[in-house]
Chain A
Amino acid sequence: MFNKEVLKILEKDGKLTPKQIAAMTGSTADEVGKAIKQAEDERAIVKYKAMINWDKVGNEHVWALIEVKITPQRDVGFDAIAERIYRFDEARTVYLMSGTYDLAVLVEGKSMQEVAEFVTRKLAPIEGVTGTTSHFVLKRYKEDGEIFDSKEESKRQAVIL
């Protein structure tokens, strides 16, 4: 049994301390610490990371969504080929999809050329991959529920009642 309330709070802000979370949930820092440890141990919490807006930093980053069509293999279906793909660091996100293609692979690279190279040299030639379609990302507006350039600030007026 996981403490879902603690997980929900952490999902929104991974920097909160057990003490802060304890105050928000009406429990003790010790209890929260234990709940977090358990979730970490069982990989319910996979990782803590910062979400960086690289466009703001000025680093050159390129993303592309690659639609991959594959031939499923006996016994292992799509999983073996998916694994061959997701083991590459360049593949940031990999999903098995329903519909007209099989795997959606979000690839990140420093340049368009680097991404193209990865697709043509690494991804497309994998045995079982029957075709790829690359879509380069022009702009990232929102990811994982977070809007990159949120203009919405509190517009509350100093009123009462």
Chain B
Amino acid sequence: MKRGPVSIRANSIAPSGIRKFFDLLASMEGVISLGVGEPDYATPWRIREAAIYSLEQGRTMYTSNLGTPELRQELSRHLEQQYGLKYDPATEILITVGVSEALDLAMRATIDPGDQVIMPAPCYVAYPASVSLSAGEPVLIPTVEAANFEIDAADIEAAITPRTRAILSGYPANPTGAVMPRDKLAAVAEVARKHDLLVMSDEIYARLTYGVEHTCFAALPGMQERTVLLGGFSKAYAMTGWRIGYAAGPREIIAAMTKIHQYTIMCAPTMAQVAALEALRGGEDSVLEMVADYNRRRKLVVKGLRDIGFSCFEPKGAFYTFPNITITGMSSEVFAEKLLQEEKVAVVPGTAFGACGEGYVRCCYATSLPELEEALLRIRRFVNKHGR
């Protein structure tokens, strides 16, 4: 048989299951989108202004592969101040093109063909794919609404095989908005230590928590030496389009990641690095203000969804709600499709984040207050029309 143009590996990963909605969405008018997982704010001006100035000054060349020394130093300070963690800016921090690149590098640097990576689900769509692209095998462990979508250490332990290499965790979580309490995360850390597993911890939503404290995986006892901490600027500083993130971890892993980064990316965009530095130095007030504002919308949306009759888990982090829509008798996908067609509200079916997301939809509340109120009205009308 003639071989097709696409590699077996590329063929092996599924396309994101939500594409068709968004093709449809793009052709419709008057749609309120609760689908996009990004802040509705533009990047705070002082951050944009710093980048513009750097362009005016002609800072348009490559930087060190690792990222500018100033940014790595500032980041090192930031992580120490936030979590009491000490990372050597010269060897233990790598600036990347968003957490997306950092995640890919972390996998490619540590996963050999056949290695298994355990991850709680429902989870961000790129997690399983990032493992598959490294010829590893993603192992999804369902988390449930009744347990606040938290990881149960016993479930992780039960899934461990001789091929298990790492745990990939992402809390505060996309799509559920769940936050891991310190004691439960410590139990997972214990399992990782006991079975000598690596941990990739995607903490892109670390700054977006509401009334609870985020626990950094690497800051748990004995975890820094086996954890690759993945972080970024997109969510906290409203910088999604800049594509700037980082990895902090053990020297050996960061060196391996840097090697791959060197050959594929060279360095993160210089102006985005300048912007990130300004974000760390002067963006704190903006973060606090945005978090306070997200929190108000979070409460409004959770209450609104519950008033409609949905069971809705209270998310303590990120900017998502993950209501249980089973009262409608529809599958997640049918619900999302009909809601878009009939009421022009875009949400993402829970199944996009793993089979265990069936019965749920993801609603992002990073949208203006009037739009959220209107969306809730439309969803109510939709549910009343279709019965419950």
Contact = CB atoms under 8 A, between A and B. Distances in A.
Interface string A122-158: 0000000000000000000000000000001011101
A23 B36 contact: no
Contacts of B369: 13, 20, 24
Contacts, number: 49
A80 interface: no
Interface SS of B by simple majority:
helix
Nearest to B126: A161
Contacts of B16: 160-161
| Chain A CB within 10 Å, residue with most, of B40, B42, B297 | B42
B123 to A, nearest CB: 12
Given A8-B292, A23-B304, A152-B42, A160 B299 contact: no
Contacts of B296: 9, 24-25
Given A9-B296, A23-B304, A24-B300, A160 B26 contact: no
A156 B35 contact: no
A23 B37 contact: no
B36 A160 contact: yes
A6 to B, nearest CB: 11
Given A160-B36, A161-B37, A23 B300 contact: yes
A156 B25 contact: no
B338 to A, nearest CB: 18
Interface size bracket, A side: 10 to 19
Q: How many B residues are at the interface, by size bracket?
A: 20 to 34
Contact of A158 (B25, B124, B126): B25
A159 interface: yes
A1 B261 CA distance: 54
Contacts of B299: 23-26
B333 interface: no
A158 B26 contact: yes
Interface in B257-311: 292, 296-297, 299-300, 303-304
Contacts of A23: 299-300, 303-304
Interface string B1-45: 000000000000000101101100110000001011110101000
Given A23-B303, A25-B296, A158 B42 contact: no
A142 to B, nearest CB: 11
Nearest to A157: B36
Nearest to A156: B36
Contacts of B35: 158, 160
A110 to B, nearest CB: 34
B21 to A, nearest CB: 8
B219 interface: no
Contacts of B126: 161
Nearest to A26: B299
B98 to A, nearest CB: 11
Contacts of B352: 160
B125 interface: yes
A115 B318 CA distance: 52
Contacts of B117: none
B286 to A, nearest CB: 13
A160 B37 contact: yes
A20 B374 CA distance: 13
Contacts of A155: 42
Nearest to B307: A23
Contact of B22 (A8, A9, A13, A159): A159
A156 B40 contact: yes
A25 B33 CA distance: 23
A49 B299 CA distance: 27
Interface string B325-366: 000000000000000000000001000100000000000000
A159 B346 CA distance: 11
B366 to A, nearest CB: 9
A155 B42 CA distance: 9
Contacts of A20: 300, 369, 373
Contacts of B125: 161
A6 B16 CA distance: 41
B351 to A, nearest CB: 13
A26 B35 CA distance: 24
A124 B136 CA distance: 82
A138 B304 CA distance: 46
B40 A160 contact: no
B304 A160 contact: no
Given A152-B42, A160-B37, A161-B126, A24 B297 contact: yes
B38 A156 contact: yes
Contacts of A8: 292
Nearest to B299: A26
Among A9, A23, A156, which residue has the most Cβ atoms of chain B within 10 A?
A: A23
Nearest to B314: A26
Interface in A77-136: none
7 contacts: A23-B303, A25-B296, A152-B42, A156-B33, A160-B35, A160-B352, A161-B37
The 3 A-B pairs with the shortest beta carbon distances in the complex, nearest first, are A24-B296, A23-B300, A26-B299
